[in-house]
Amino acid sequence: MAVIDAKPTTTLAPRSGGGVMQSVRDSLVIAKRNLIRMTRIPEMIIFGLIQPIMFVVLFTYVFGGSMKVGGSTDPATYKEFLMAGIFAQTVTFATAGAGAGIADDMNKGLIDRFRSLPMSRGAVLTGRTLADLVQTMLTVIVLAVVALIVGWRVHEGIPKMLGAFGLLLLLGYAFSWIGALIGLSVRTPEAATSGGLIWLFPVTFISNAFADTGNMTPWLAHIAEWNPFSATVQACRELFGNPGVSQSNAWPMQHAVWASLIWSVLILVVFRTLAVRKYRSATA
């Protein structure tokens, strides 16, 4: 009787580590997958552009003549004051989309399929947030063109302008990890969208984005001046050379560029750690 020599079979198991380079490669693969998906659903990009453009038009032409900046009600002054706030609001509102996308992947079982592959666990979230960052970058470029059309101008040169946009994208990327954590914590994309927006409105409106903090009551002005969102808006106004540079003695307003960097890096480190930990426990 013939004896069949049976060899043990091996299965691929997901890696929890795999080294930095492997994690980078896995993240880029996931980012590419999400970017391809975005190009196949162009309405995602189109709808993402409509909202910030509407804010520019509404605030510029509806509220511009009644807003006071540094004692002036000149609409042209408010246009330049406004745009740093609109840019910052645009990059942070992408948080809701990031959370909804991750919640959708979880709901459809796509994350379970990724879990079965020999890839870095954190790469799934990193790739998703990088793809969202690319989409945000495209949105900001289009928004900048619209801003130039309505009268916004940069007065401090191209290097400082690029630095301001770099701070904006860093803030948006940091906030996208808050969205990732929300997306992993809820059951449906709809809940992720609602959860991603409900805290963004007070963060963006209790700030110096749309109104001069000098016109606020003292206690509200103090909150607005220490808001991480306000630090980035203030830094962008300084780097763009736009009006509205605060005379406040609050440290984030006096050192806005450093405050923006510190806040963004701190948010990124804390919420990336929490999101990856949540992802690992959800897929364990």
Identify the band that residue 228 occupies on the pLDDT scale cut at 50, 70 and 90: very high
Q: How far is CA 18 from CA 24, 75, 127, 180, in A?
A: 10, 56, 16, 22
- Check whether 20 has a pLDDT greater than 90: no
Of 4-13, 31-40, 210-219, 224-233, the one with minimum mean pLDDT is 4-13
The answer to whether the predicted template modeling score (pTM) of the entire model surpasses 0.75 is yes
Higher pLDDT, 227 or 117: 227
pLDDT confidence of residue 72:
61
Residue with tokens 């949540």: 278
d(CA 122, CA 119): 9
Identify the band that residue 64 occupies on the pLDDT scale cut at 50, 70 and 90: low
Of 53-62, 166-175, 215-224, 230-239, the one with minimum mean pLDDT is 53-62
DSSP-assigned states of every residue in 136-175 = HHHHHHHHHHHHHHHT----S-HHHHHHHHHHHHHHHHHH
d(CA 83, CA 227): 18
- The mean per-residue pLDDT over the stretch 237-251 comes to 82
Higher pLDDT, 73 or 10: 73
Q: Which long-range contacts (CB under 8 A, 24 or more apart) does 207-212 make?
A: 207/85, 207/233, 208/85, 208/233, 208/234, 208/244, 208/246, 209/84, 209/85, 209/86, 209/88, 209/89, 209/233, 210/59, 210/67, 210/82, 210/85, 211/67, 212/68, 212/69, 212/70, 212/81, 212/244, 212/246
DSSP-assigned states of every residue in 64-108 = TTT--BTTB--HHHHHHHHHHHHHHHHHHHHHHHHHHHHHHHHHH
- Check whether 11 has a pLDDT greater than 80: no
For residue range 187-211, what is the model confidence (pLDDT) as tens digits? Answer: 788 888 788 788 888 999 999 888 8
Residue 117: strand, helix, or coil? coil
- The mean per-residue pLDDT over the stretch 53-78 comes to 70
Asked if 265 and 173 count as a contact pair (C-beta separation under 8 A), the reply is no
Higher pLDDT, 119 or 33: 33
pLDDT confidence of residue 186:
84
Tell which residue, 13, 11, 15, 36, has the closest CA to residue 26. 15
Higher pLDDT, 101 or 91: 91
- The mean per-residue pLDDT over the stretch 163-186 comes to 92
Q: How far is CA 211 from CA 4, 38, 144, 182, in A?
A: 80, 35, 20, 29
d(CA 140, CA 124): 25
d(CA 211, CA 224): 10
- Sign of the CA dihedral with 127 first, then 174, 176, and 133 last: negative
Identify the band that residue 9 occupies on the pLDDT scale cut at 50, 70 and 90: very low
- Check whether 4 has a pLDDT greater than 50: no
User: Rounded to the nearest 5 degrees, what angle is found at the Cα of 61, between the Cα atoms of 57 and 64?
Assistant: 115
- The mean per-residue pLDDT over the stretch 33-58 comes to 77
Computed over every residue of the chain, the mean pLDDT equals 81
d(CA 209, CA 32): 33
pLDDT confidence of residue 8:
46
pLDDT confidence of residue 77:
78
- The mean per-residue pLDDT over the stretch 241-249 comes to 75
d(CA 121, CA 187): 20
- Check whether 235 has a pLDDT greater than 90: yes
